[in-house]
Amino acid sequence: VSIMGSEILDCGDPKCHQKIKAAILTDPCILLAMAEERRPKQCTVVLPTESMKAMAESIGVGQLQEESCVALSEEVSYRIKEIAQDALKFMHHGKRRKLTTNDIDNALKLKNVEPLYGFQSQEFIPFRFASGGGRELHFYEEKEVDLSDIINTPLPRVPLDVSLKAHWLSIEGVQPSIPENPPPAPKEQQKVESTEPLKVVKPGQEEDGTVQGKGQGATAADGKGKEKGLIRLKPRSTHELSVEQQLYYKEITEACVGSCEAKRAEALQSIATDPGLYQMLPRFSTFISEGVRVNVVQNNLALLIYLMRMVKALMDNPTLYLEKYLHELIPAVVTCIVSKQLCLRPDVDNHWALRDFAARLMAQSCKTFSTTTNNIQSRITKTFTKSWLDEKTQWTTRYGCIAGLAELGADVIKTLILPRLTVEGARIKAVMEGPVVSNIDKIGADHVQSLLLKHCASVIAKIRPQPDNVEQYRIDYGYLGPMLCSHVMKARTQAALQAQQVNRTTLTITQPRPTLTVSQSGLSGSAGPRTPSIIKVPSSLTLMSPRPGTPSQPSPPATKYIVMATSAGPASTQQVITLSSSQSASPVTSTVPSATSTLQPLVKLESGSGPGLTGSRPMQKYIVVSLPSSASSSLENKSSVLPTSISSTPIEAGMKLDRSESPGASTQSPH
Amino acid sequence: MAAVQGGLVDAVEKKDIKTEPSEDSGGNNNANDGRLLSPPPGSSASAPGGNKPPAGAPEDQQTLLAVLQFLRKNNLAESVEILRREAGLPEDALDLKAGDSAGAEDASSLLSRVTVSSSAAAQAPTKAVEDQPDVNVVLSAYSQQGDPALYGVYYSGLKRFIESVLDCHRAELSQVFYPLFVHMYLELVYNNHENEAKVFFEKFSGDQECYYEDDLRVLSSLTKKEHMRGNETLLDFRTSKFVLRISRDSYQLLKRHLQERQNNQIWNIIQEHLYIDIFDGMPRSKSQIDAMSGSLAGEAKREANKAKVYYGLLKEPEIELPLDDEDEEAENEEGKPKKKKPKKDSMGSKSKKQDPNAPSQTRIPLPELKDSDKLDKIMYMKEATKRIRLGPDNLPSICFYSFLNAYQGLTAVDFTDDSSLIAGGFADSTVRVWSVTPKKLRKVKSAADLNLIDKESDDVLERIMDEKTASESKILYGHSGPVYGISFSPDRNYLLTCSEDGTIRLWSLQTFTCLVGYKGHNYPVWDTQFSPHGYYFISGGHDRVARLWATDHYQPLRMFSGHLADITSTRFHPNSNYVVTGSSDRTIRLWDVLTGNCVRIFTGHKGPIHALAFSPNGKFLASGATDGRVLLWDIGHGLMIGELKGHTDTIYSLKFSRDGEILASGSMDNTVRLWDATKAFDDLETDDFTAATGHIHLQDNSQELLLGTYMSKSTPVIHLHFTRRNLLLAAGAYNP
């Protein structure tokens, strides 16, 4: 420790001081902690003397005078700052934004101090803060890892070697829209473009509009002219597509509504992930809305399903700003939910699945796009409620309305659906037990009934105190009461079971460790932070399931995973993934080339900030929970699965992840 | 070493290398200054005989004398001789002055104490003292015993005064605040008035310009006398005077105020630690001052930039084009007459022998062209005829080379001039070379196999290559720390890398082995670059000294010292007669390779300078720093001529297009930006420089000059390169 060897402090035994200093300097946590705090205003930040005492104790110096502590802490703080400043040089020359332990090692070498060997950390600062017993501590969190777990898991992939890849960043001044380039207009810019031009183009109107209206044309024009001088007008965005884009559009739309399912999956994948589609967005949106208009009239269920899947893919694409096109997309989606007839043979075709799917889409868009200005959610709710209340509404539309409302969440169910259970029950009773009117009505009533039971049971299970008395239920909910009661009881037992399960099989993966692999019940998820190719989304967790079971095997029960991402950021999401290789009507997994590709984008967990840019990144925890197969009898039981957290955080993932169902529906339908 | 050198000689095919004088003064690097630039073998030009005496300021002379005196004291007679000869000092002058300064040194500690009371009178002797940057001497100058409580009063008194003067003077006088603040603070700390220092700092640090923030941070952590020993920042402040440029009127105003108030404390500091460059004329405005200030040691003195710089290009050697080439060019001429024309122009200007600004062809000895070089030149000219004329309406295409899976950290990239090879230096100490053409990289066969080759055959060059080793990339192992700088030799036979381990390594691209490790920088070497004519190279690093090397000498030929902090970036002038260095002290210095003098100091950056680029015509320099700004400099006049704002993070790479119309800048903020260099320089030529005072009025036209911004996908741009046809290549590591 030569840098401070010369400094002999005037109080206490110098030898012991040096020892302490050495201990402090070799404590990587402090170095990193100091390096971390690069606040602009840090005039005289000094380590607390308590830390000095703690460290002195840790090397066996019991009684340290207060003065010595002060002197030590000042000295050590100064040296640490010096080292941190040198370390910054290495960071700059290393062309990084993040200070690493290597930089600190190099800075120590510069001062002729032995580096801190064996302390490597690429990603984050691995110590935790704790307080207790009147003391505050930072400690290094090292988890105990079961060796057998590691030995038994398959080896991680060997990291790829450095390689070069060339692409065009710009061709004669224009940046091509290829996956290697960032989306030409980031979402924010698209937003600005869709909101700001209004202001720019008619600034006079914006200001005067509320008071004077358009009456004073002359002054408005005058103001406009003045403003023009000040504000640079954006050139009107061109709506011409390049030849490549036209080709792409043609290919994609053809594949999306064509007959080849593999091609469709690819096309949807492209829509959902490719950046730079925003120029084609108006075309896609028109394509969808026109398509729905035509196919509803022709009752072409398959095409409607395809179009809805396109809507979903568009919504999944993180680079698109869809707000501009909601006026086209929402009516199309709503049509698919509530239309009286969606298929040629309503008694046989499963148009209910389409309604469910579209309802989930609707709920998702309400969640993402509803603002206080556009009020999408309340307008949609009003629309659904109105037609549901109408006596003459057909069963199909009725089903759609209820599905649409139910998807909006537990609150909506509680306030809008539960009070009407009695009335609805009576209506169902009339059809079921009354004179046979038509088969179609009967099927409709049957579906509405199961829909109501499905959605309401979980909500009631939460808001209604036990015990569940059948008679009481009948009084409260009329015809549906007894059935509801049994459903509620089932939901309760599942919740209890689930709670136990959580305790038993919780497994935490710390993301930055690539070696840990989770393997449970035949399904293995491997966290691979090293994405091999530039195109893949960073920090995506891929849950891989083995190839679907061979026909000879008894089909394994579908297993459900709940992936909870807990992070320091404000957003905490929960996602329910159903990896089903055996649902009754889903031969689709075999048509899609690999299960991974369908699932991969589904489990995208994004913490609040962009990955990897900030110095200290909140650690993400993935808790993978395996549910008993009985819980998977219906997907919609998910709300009973997490009774505690469901009320606080909305489940948004339910529909997003449920791809296995929609293709199932599609293959069922006649072509 | 001798063996290695011999091996190199074989490889280079240079005969008869002049042996180094082995009697180096033991360990004293300063003596290296004295060694003559040895002429490269084979070149007909002889080394210039009588070197001119340094035309620098008297300070330089004094530094030299101080060095001489030091050498004498250590009985290094030979070095003294060499240095004196090189510096052109008369023998008696040495004795005379040396005696002087020796006396001065003896009296130094005494004098420095005396300075408290005798303010201006002690000026001359202290100057001599300052030439020995001995820590104790330096520090002892602070041992003044003023009342610590009064420092704040003095400072705020001056502040009140400056705030009350006329607007036109206020901006100029405000420059005094920062150096004064620092010196007063250091004095307080030195005299153990720790609490007063803290109070003083807290009270007044907020007043300082924001671009001094980094220095203030260093200063704030320095609270004890013990800290001052060995602190670079402190030594920099003391050993170099902070330079201020103030108009005569403002200066008189300040002087009168301080004398009226009997404010000796401040006056002493101004006298001792500041250099006030007084000029006649209008006081400068705030924006003018802000444009130039920001460096660690204030602005550059005006006379520092007065020396003549031969920024013109060397005449291209005449190479007779083979007949078939002429035919091909004739075809080109028919096909695209327009493109031919500019080339003719450029040829014309080159053949104009009397470019008044060009150095003489033999000013520094350059290696003779080999046959392969001539072939390459011919290739170059052919390519040049196909070059695209760039301009605001004709932007270059950009091809981006992403380094994938570079988790260890990509730290440096270089392209060969013909864009056939890419080399990358990595933080894990490896160097990798890729071929980006279908031609794979092959090693030369082993000696035993080479023996079997028929040396008379026509394709002997092809036969010596070992086909078995062909691959797209090769890895070079040898460094023991992150590789921070990398540079191909112009003939593509060698690769130069420098690293954290303090060495610069020369690699052969024929055998893919390390040939020489140049040791000299004992600290991390941040950057290195080959001269455009090969043979020489420049390096700079943490030790604040830039070194000029020749490939066949294991010790540096020149050492350029003067920077006050790490040298972060080094570049050769296109005519190889000058090198430019950028530093963490936020200055850029231009050095004359022949004399070793600093001929230009450019100040104005507000952060460490990480990128430098000369315009192809050698007249202009562009520099980029951590503050995200690109500054443009006129070398001949020594003036800042432009500021390009737009980047939001450190600029790591700058490059002019082949004809100098476009400037490309690459940054940590993942963007490549293109700037209209023609416009930036043309606007200027219509202005007449007020070169007498060195003032410039920078117009804020960054937005007009910005031609394009191209965002990459989380890939910091760390290198840029224009191919011979003006295609822009960019490189960086994708880090998700």
Are the CB atoms for B602 and B640 separated by under 8 Å? Answer: yes
What is the distance in angstroms between the Cα of A302 and the nearest Cα belonging to chain B? 38
pLDDT at residue B280, rounded to an integer? 81
Among A16-20, A212-216, B570-574, B704-708, the minimum mean pLDDT is found in A212-216
Indicate whether B439 and B570 sit together in one domain: yes
Share of chain B above pLDDT 70, in %: 75
> Are β-strands A523-526 and A517-520 bridged in parallel, bridged antiparallel, or unpaired?
antiparallel
Are the CB atoms for B75 and B23 separated by under 8 Å? Answer: no
pLDDT at A198 over 60: no
Dihedral of CA atoms A583, A586, A589, A590 in degrees, nearest 10, equals 120
Instruction: Report, in angstroms and rounded to the nearest whole number, the Rg of chain B calculated over CA atoms.
Output: 27
Check if B275 contacts A (Cβ < 8 Å).
Answer: no
| Chain B residues whose beta carbon lies within 8 Å of the beta carbon of residue A614 | none
Q: Which long-range contacts (CB under 8 A, 24 or more apart) does A392-398 make?
A: A394/A340, A394/A444, A395/A431, A395/A440, A395/A441, A395/A443, A395/A444, A395/A445, A395/A447, A395/A448, A396/A339, A396/A340, A396/A341, A396/A342, A396/A346, A396/A351, A396/A355, A396/A444, A397/A338, A397/A339, A397/A340, A398/A444, A398/A448
pLDDT at residue B136, rounded to an integer? 54
pLDDT interval class at A483 (50, 70, 90): confident
pLDDT interval class at A90 (50, 70, 90): very high
pLDDT at residue A558, rounded to an integer? 40
Share of chain A above pLDDT 90, in %: 5
C-alpha separations of B192 from A644, B144, B196, B222, B223 in Å: 62, 11, 9, 12, 9
pLDDT at B714 over 50: yes
Option in B201, B668, B714 nearest A43 (CB)? B201
Classify each residue of B301-336 as buried b or exposed e, where b means 16 or more C-beta atoms within 10 Å of its C-beta. Answer: bbebbebebbbbbbbeeeeeeeeeeeeebeebeeee
Enumerate the β-bridge partners of residue B243.
B275, B298
Q: Which amino acid is at A239?
A: H
- Compute the distance between CA of residue A441 and CA of residue A428 in angstroms, rounded to an integer: 10
pLDDT tens digits for range A294-305: 988 888 888 899
pLDDT at residue B412, rounded to an integer? 94
Mean pLDDT within B632-643? 87
- Compute the distance between CA of residue A22 and CA of residue A35 in angstroms, rounded to an integer: 18
Mean pLDDT within B229-244? 73
Chain B: residue whose CA lies nearest to A532:
B405
Highest mean pLDDT among A147-151, A225-229, B322-326: A147-151
Check if B205 contacts A (Cβ < 8 Å).
Answer: yes
Q: Which amino acid is at B275?
A: Y
Q: Which amino acid is at A401?
A: C
SS3 for A119? coil
A281: Cα within 13 Å, side-chain hemisphere: 28
SS3 for B68? helix
pLDDT at residue B548, rounded to an integer? 95
**For residue B290, what are the domain limits?**
146-305
- Compute the distance between CA of residue A562 and CA of residue A574 in angstroms, rounded to an integer: 7
- Compute the distance between CA of residue B201 and CA of residue B184 in angstroms, rounded to an integer: 10
Highest mean pLDDT among A67-81, A104-118, A414-428, B426-440: B426-440
- Compute the distance between CA of residue B529 and CA of residue B569 in angstroms, rounded to an integer: 9
- Compute the distance between CA of residue A22 and CA of residue B79 in angstroms, rounded to an integer: 42
Q: Which amino acid is at B41?
A: P
| Nearest alpha-carbon partner for B487 in B542, B422, B546 | B422
A654: part of which helix (H) or strand (E)?
A: helix A653-656
pLDDT at A123 over 70: no
Mean pLDDT within A296-319? 89
DSSP letters of A309-334?
HHHHHHHH-TT--GGGGHHHHHHHHH
Q: Which amino acid is at B611?
A: A
The sign of the CA dihedral A109, A113, A116, A121 is: negative
| Residue A71, both tokens | 């002197």
pLDDT at residue A582, rounded to an integer? 39
Share of chain A above pLDDT 70, in %: 55
The sign of the CA dihedral B618, B620, B625, B628 is: negative
CB contact under 8 A, A89 and B734: no
| Residue B462, both tokens | 């092809």
What is the average pLDDT value for chain B, to the nearest integer? 77
C-alpha separations of B223 from A78, A195, B238, B388, B453 in Å: 8, 53, 17, 59, 71
pLDDT at residue B432, rounded to an integer? 94
pLDDT at B413 over 80: yes
pLDDT at A343 over 50: yes
| Nearest alpha-carbon partner for B381 in B338, B419, B344 | B344
Residues 14-73 of B with CB under 8 A from A: none
CATH code, domain with B414: 2.130.10.10
- Compute the distance between CA of residue B567 and CA of residue B609 in angstroms, rounded to an integer: 9
| Nearest alpha-carbon partner for B729 in B484, B489, B405, B400 | B400
pLDDT tens digits for range A616-669: 444 444 444 444 444 333 434 443 333 333 333 333 433 343 333 443 333 343
In a domain, B175, yes or no: yes
Mean pLDDT within A473-485? 83
Are the CB atoms for B42 and B93 separated by under 8 Å? Answer: no
pLDDT at residue A454, rounded to an integer? 85
CATH code, domain with B159: 1.25.40.500
Does residue A546 have a cis peptide bond before it, meaning omega lies within 30 degrees of 0? no
pLDDT interval class at A340 (50, 70, 90): confident
Residues 622-641 of A with CB under 8 A from B: none
Are the CB atoms for B32 and B76 separated by under 8 Å? Answer: no
Are the CB atoms for B728 and B422 separated by under 8 Å? Answer: no
pLDDT at B158 over 80: yes
DSSP letters of B73-113?
HTT-HHHHHHHHHHHT--HHHHHHHHHHHHHHHHTHHHHHH
| Chain B residues whose beta carbon lies within 8 Å of the beta carbon of residue A6 | 229
- Compute the distance between CA of residue A69 and CA of residue A56 in angstroms, rounded to an integer: 9
- Compute the distance between CA of residue A7 and CA of residue A10 in angstroms, rounded to an integer: 9
Best residue of B202, B405, B521, B721 to probe chain A, by most A CBs closer than 10 Å = B405
Instruction: Give A507's DSSP letter.
Output: -
Among A523-537, B28-42, B71-85, B234-248, the minimum mean pLDDT is found in A523-537
A17: part of which helix (H) or strand (E)?
A: helix A14-25
CB contact under 8 A, A172 and B396: yes
Mean pLDDT within B609-629? 93
In a domain, B190, yes or no: yes
- The better pLDDT of the pair B47, A373 is held by A373
SS3 for A566? strand
DSSP letters of A244-271?
HHHHHHHHHHHHHHSS-HHHHHHHHHHH
In a domain, B43, yes or no: no
- Compute the distance between CA of residue A517 and CA of residue A438 in angstroms, rounded to an integer: 56
What is the average pLDDT value for chain A, to the nearest integer? 66
Q: Which amino acid is at A269?
A: Q
| Chain A residues whose beta carbon lies within 8 Å of the beta carbon of residue B726 | none
Number of independent structural domains in chain B: 2
Say which residues have a Cβ less than 8 Å from residue B491's Cβ, sequence separation at least 6. B370, B372, B373, B376, B534
pLDDT at A573 over 80: no
What is the distance in angstroms between the Cα of B569 and the nearest Cα belonging to chain A? 10
pLDDT interval class at A216 (50, 70, 90): very low
DSSP letters of B307-364?
S----SPPPPPP-PPPHHHHHHHHHHHHH-HHHHHHHHHHHHHHH----TTSPPTTSS
Dihedral of CA atoms B416, B422, B427, B429 in degrees, nearest 10, equals -80
| Chain A residues whose beta carbon lies within 8 Å of the beta carbon of residue B395 | 170, 172-173
Put the strands of the sheet holding B587-592 in their side by side order. Answer: B567-572, B578-583, B587-592, B598-603
SS3 for B29? helix
In this structure, which CATH number among 1.10.3210.10, 1.10.10.410, 1.10.20.10, 3.40.50.2000 belongs to the domain A49-152?
Answer: 1.10.20.10
Say which residues have a Cβ less than 8 Å from residue A263's Cβ, sequence separation at least 6. A255
pLDDT at residue B694, rounded to an integer? 53
B680: Cα within 13 Å, side-chain hemisphere: 34
Backbone angles phi, psi at B94, to 5 degrees: -60, -50
- Compute the distance between CA of residue B369 and CA of residue B316 in angstroms, rounded to an integer: 11
In a domain, B692, yes or no: no
pLDDT interval class at B482 (50, 70, 90): very high
pLDDT at B516 over 60: yes
| Residue B414, both tokens | 């270089």
Residue count (chain B): 736
pLDDT at residue B19, rounded to an integer? 39
Q: Which long-range contacts (CB under 8 A, 24 or more apart) does B425-429 make?
A: B425/B482, B425/B483, B425/B484, B425/B485, B425/B486, B425/B497, B425/B499, B426/A162, B426/B482, B426/B483, B427/A94, B427/A102, B427/B482, B427/B483, B428/B482, B429/B477, B429/B478, B429/B479, B429/B480, B429/B481, B429/B482, B429/B483, B429/B499, B429/B501
Residues 505-524 of B with CB under 8 A from A: 523-524
In a domain, B285, yes or no: yes
Enumerate the β-bridge partners of residue B450.
none
Last residue of a domain, one of B305, B323, B344: B305
pLDDT tens digits for range B547-593: 999 999 999 999 999 888 899 999 999 999 999 999 998 999 999 99
pLDDT at residue B353, rounded to an integer? 55
Last residue of a domain, one of B287, B305, B323: B305
In a domain, B621, yes or no: yes
- Of chain A, the end-to-end C-alpha distance in Å amounts to 80
Classify each residue of A299-331 as buried b or exposed e, where b means 16 or more C-beta atoms within 10 Å of its C-beta. Answer: bbbbbbbbbbbbbbbbbbbebbbbbbbeebbbe
Among A188-192, A316-320, A545-549, B202-206, the minimum mean pLDDT is found in A545-549
Instruction: Report, in angstroms and rounded to the nearest whole number, the Rg of chain A calculated over CA atoms.
Output: 31
Q: Report how far Cα B430 is from the mean position of its chain's Cα atoms.
A: 26
pLDDT interval class at B144 (50, 70, 90): low
pLDDT interval class at B601 (50, 70, 90): very high
Mean pLDDT within A492-520? 52
Backbone angles phi, psi at B82, to 5 degrees: -60, -45
Mean pLDDT within A203-223? 35
CB contact under 8 A, B626 and A7: no
Residues 635-694 of B with CB under 8 A from A: 649-650, 652, 668, 672, 674
pLDDT tens digits for range A581-601: 333 333 333 333 333 333 333
pLDDT at residue A42, rounded to an integer? 47
Last residue of a domain, one of B250, B272, B305: B305
Check if B220 contacts A (Cβ < 8 Å).
Answer: yes
Indicate whether B279 and B402 sit together in one domain: no
pLDDT tens digits for range B99-136: 444 444 444 443 343 333 333 333 333 333 344 444 45
Mean pLDDT within B619-638? 91
